[in-house]
Structure 1
């Protein structure tokens, strides 16, 4: 499960974070394997700005589910600080912490300047200038015990004293660049298919072609996210998915609309354009949701699928998780083989 702590129209950051907490508790109860939170800055509809802080809160309110960042945008941060944060999380909740890392800014130019601070010459930094990302990623890995260099600061710095375990580092991406880097470094690769930008098949193929065994992995490990809304019937699922579809059209066209209630979303002047927009999101009844996930698993050969459910209200998000968990469990209990080795949670949910 991936969540952004979305602030719906008329809501607050406090409510969005409380909703994320309840959603994580539901995912924990239902047997989902992981719950990740994103990093975005200065966006009216997203309250998840600091993954490490939110993960600490969620870990204290759940029992067994793995919690992680989806992801930490490393260009915004000192690798040493991120290593310390996640090493501490791992020490507090051993075996339950994932460190997903991305290279996108999670913000615009002005927001990136506010988060990172000005450049040495006082200029506003280019948020897409990520030339140092590979070296910063290597530093981060070294601080957490995966040393690939022979000299430099990482060998002289420890993220935490006397660690008994360290969180796994996973590379996130939506392009061939991240796929190839993850393969070259022998890291798990998580593709952001829920971005709805295409390219998943090419990216996972590149990852497998470039993969080199490492101390982290002997073989490639692929995770793919999917936008998904399910309900008791297809019509209801499409109704609850309407706010997300409209918001996606706004993002694609540079108009950051609020996450409206379904009726208001479908009454919006741009609704017909949003409804006609191509999307890879899986929207339908539970059987259709399971079939969509199985098809994605077969096409990509993913070891794990991660769902992102964006609706106006919390209740329909939890209902979607419950229906999916039940349908997936029935699928496995009826003797259906896991599609393409799709990793299932203890209760058999994706």
Structure 2
């Protein structure tokens, strides 16, 4: 079986009884912890109007984490490009790259990362962006970094500072074969959201590899899969700690996002038939269990898809459970700890 690189996706979870400030402080400690354990990169995600997720501004959080780590690659998983001006994204991530050269990833997505009302508040528009508009925004963003605007482009005289000459590693994110095709055609690395769109994984992976064209960035395809993982000493404990994730998703799908429930709250909850189906569907492709079981699940996924990297997201109420899970995975997957 192939042995992929392992990385971390963090949502800065706000658990019941804690605050967003607590969640952000926990993210700093988690980043420092997984750096010591030997994980490759650490990404944060853009979400809005979700009381249980504090990572609403990836570039601000990345700057904070970069100042408290030394070798870990840091990035966005992702910045939702339709929510932002490409010029602002180029300036923000150009600044991060200038401050922390060689350590910054800019992962780009096209979804809003929120509900439609909040998306309208972010974008100051109720117009839904199509694929062509996303492609145009992406082209504009790349041109700010490398100065390749056509001569007749209205923004061609704008110099993003910093930005020009400070391009971070750019990734495309997706949960469908559309993003996979675009990433392949542009010769960019691709991160697929297996953790919430596992039904599309095989098609998207095949599409990406089929569409891939060598570029200045990559000679060959580079695939990373997001995977929801929770590791504990026993299967029963792992399932118990994973319970809040299922309840949280059931509430989100009902339009009732809340702070992250405790394991006790999740275990005591009386699920309606719809909630039970949502929870079952949500957890179907997660890798939850003992260290040996998690290792087998991760290696099977990497072997089946050929993924060069797996980005683990561990959804648990408390930071101690998250850190323990990452430590158990690092040990069983034989990661090389960072030098002391």
Deviation digits for residues 100-128 of structure 1, max 9, x if unmatched?
0000011222211221123xxxxx333x6
Answer 1 or 2: higher relative contact order, Cα 8 Å, separation at least 6. Answer: 2
Instruction: Give the match for residue 5 of structure 2.
Output: none
Correspondence for 2:295 among 278, 287, 290: 290
Corresponding residue SS for 1:132: helix
CA contact (8 A) 2:147 2:164 kept: no
TM-score by structure 1 length?
Answer: 0.88
- Report what 2:191 is aligned to: 190
The DSSP-based 3-state class of the residue aligned with 2:146 is: coil
1:333 alignment counterpart: none
| Cα 1:248/1:229, change in 2 over 3 Å | same
After TM superposition, the structure 1 stretch with the greater mean CA deviation from structure 2, 7-16 or 98-107, is: 7-16
Equivalent pair of 2:93/2:163 in contact (CA under 8 Å)? no
Match of 1:334 in 2: none
Residue pair 1:143, 1:154 contacting (<8 A) in 2 also: no
Deviation track 1:66-108 (CA, whole Å, cap 9, x = no partner) reads 0000000000101011011101100100111000000001122
Q: Distance in 2 between matches of 1:241 and 1:150?
A: 54
Q: Tell me the matched-pair count.
A: 327
1:69 counterpart residue number = 76
| Residues 280-311 of structure 1: CA deviation (Å, up to 9, x unaligned) | 01000111111111011011110100000000
Q: 2:65 aligned with 1:58, yes or no?
A: yes
User: Which whole-Å deviations, capped at 9, do the CAs of 1:16-60 have from their partners, x for residues lacking one?
Assistant: 111111111111111100000000111111111110000000001
Output the CA distance in 1 between the equivalents of 2:228 and 2:162.
Answer: 40
Question: Aligned to 1:106, what secondary structure does the other structure show?
Answer: coil
Q: Is residue 17 of structure 1 aligned with residue 24 of structure 2?
A: yes
Please, which of 34, 39, 44 is the counterpart of residue 37 of structure 1? 44
Match of 2:157 in 1: 156
Q: Distance in 1 between matches of 2:210 and 2:147?
A: 22
Q: Which runs of 5+ in 2 are unaligned?
A: 1-7
Give distance in 1, aligned partners of 2:95 and 2:199.
36
Structure 1 position 323 matched with structure 2 position 322: no
CA RMSD between the two structures: 2.1
Structure 1 SS opposite 2:333: helix
Judge conservation of contact 1:38–1:71 (CA < 8 Å) in 2: yes
Q: Secondary structure at the match of 2:199?
A: coil
How is 1:226-241 mapped onto 2 (pairs within 5 angstroms)?
226-241=227-242
Query: Structure 1 residues 275-284 or 191-200, which shifts more?
Result: 275-284
Cα displacement string for residues 156-175 of structure 1 (whole angstroms, at most 9, x for unaligned residues): 33333596652111000000
Matches of 2:258 and 2:198 in 1, distance apart?
A: 19
